[in-house]
Copies of this chain bind each other. A is one copy, B any other.
Amino acid sequence: MDEAGELRAAIEAIVGAEHVTTAESELERHGHDESWHETARPDLVVFPGSTEEVAAVVRACHARRVPMIPFGAGSSLEGNVAALTGGVSIDLTRMNRILSVRPEDLDATIEAGVTRRQLEERLREDGVFFSVDPGADATLGGMAATGASGTTAVRYGTMRENVLSLTVVTADGEIMRTRSRARKSSAGYDLTHLLIGSEGTLGVITELTVKLHPLPEATASAIVNFPTVRDAVEAATETIQMGLPVARVELADEVTMHAIAQRSELPVAERPTLFFDLHGSESGVQEHAAALADIVAAHGAEGYEWSTDPAECRRIWHARHQVYEATVALRPGCRGMPTDVCVPVSRLADCIEESRADLTASGVFAPIVGHVGDGNFHLTIVVDPNSDEEVAAARGLSERLVKRAIEMEGTCTGEHGVGIGKVKYLALEHDPETMAMMRRIKDAMDPLGLMNPGKVLSA
């Protein structure tokens, strides 16, 4: 038997032959995510059913010096799952059990393959919810690995603020739990946060204990149009500076609103827009809506309405969540190349305005959406992958944007992670000493460099 065959046999002995595949379609699917980054196929895909099986698979790969790439829903956006040097894709989607939900402690323990919507549905019956909402129906393990966030981070935080504890399989196949279930702890080094955002390069996340929140008594959503993008951004910034506890405040420019108009049953104006969401008591929501009314009016907004009907609110957020697909669909045959910078909110209006001028000048099609309460926004660059000129212009725009954000004391990635797309920018953002320390951590936790090689740090 050759080496590949021998590894396959070893893995089949762990998980059963029916949970191992080298089918072309599966290798293809596991070689890329939803981004424009080139596919890099793994040599084999395994679907383990438990943390112990993951550990045994990792030990089998580790013993043979074979790279491993953890895989969830494949909804990442920076090539985070591409198997750059082949190896074994560890697909965690069979591990989709919700192990326990404890409304009395406002926490839940789940396997890494549970998806956001699956968890949402299960929690509703207990009157609680999990807040992190990246739009895609990602797995919770993938969301933790990427340090994901999305529309609700402005109020409830990102994955970093919403994970209590992780079960992790280390690079050499040991199982460790990072932390107890206590709400607060100072008991040793914070391995939980070290794993969040490590993108499978330090270990495989197999279980999570996450924080839950009581469902708010009342919610209200509104789609508010502004004369200009700057007006919209300044209204959002002022909302944050005043400490108004909005649950969501999302920017969409006029082109994005055009894309939404093509898909949504909602009648939307094709103008610069903020989507707002408020959570609280009945009177609290009313009070915050009134305070917001003053802010948005001062920035030229008029003629919007608050919706408190749950079905209508769902339609509004469904429309917002479709933005990426809707925008890419505006140019059939083209691909999305989303950017992901985040800057201090006081710099946001300038950063967006300069970026809009840049994209106009460079002739790139790139509508803007943003989690503007956090200073995070995306250009959804849509490019014809067969046009070298377009691709080059898009890459240039993206690089200038990253540099602009870093100069404004921001980051090259607010929530999509480094993957392969941002590897080269990490050294622009961090000091050489900081980069060296990240490398030391990587070498300490994965001395053979087998975990998702080439991601976060160059291989």
Contacts and interface: CB of A to CB of B under 8 A. Distances in A.
Interface of A: 102-107, 146-149, 153, 157-158, 160-161, 170, 174-194, 196-198, 202, 213-214, 216, 240-243, 281, 283-284, 287, 342-346, 371, 374-376, 405-406, 409-418, 422, 425-426, 429-431, 433-438, 440-445, 456-457
Nearest to A342: B182
B413 A186 contact: yes
A157 B161 contact: yes
A160 B411 contact: no
B412 A187 contact: yes
A374 to B, nearest CB: 5
A374 B184 contact: yes
Contact of A189 (B284, B346, B438): B438
A189 B182 contact: no
A184 B376 contact: yes
Contact of A429 (B148, B180, B191, B194): B180
Contacts of A425: 187
Contacts of A179: 411
B177 A434 contact: yes
Given A193-B193, A214-B243, A346 B434 contact: no
Nearest to A410: B182
9 contacts: A176-B437, A178-B434, A180-B409, A181-B344, A184-B376, A184-B411, A187-B411, A187-B412, A190-B190
Nearest to A435: B188
Contacts of A405: 182
A436 B191 CA distance: 11
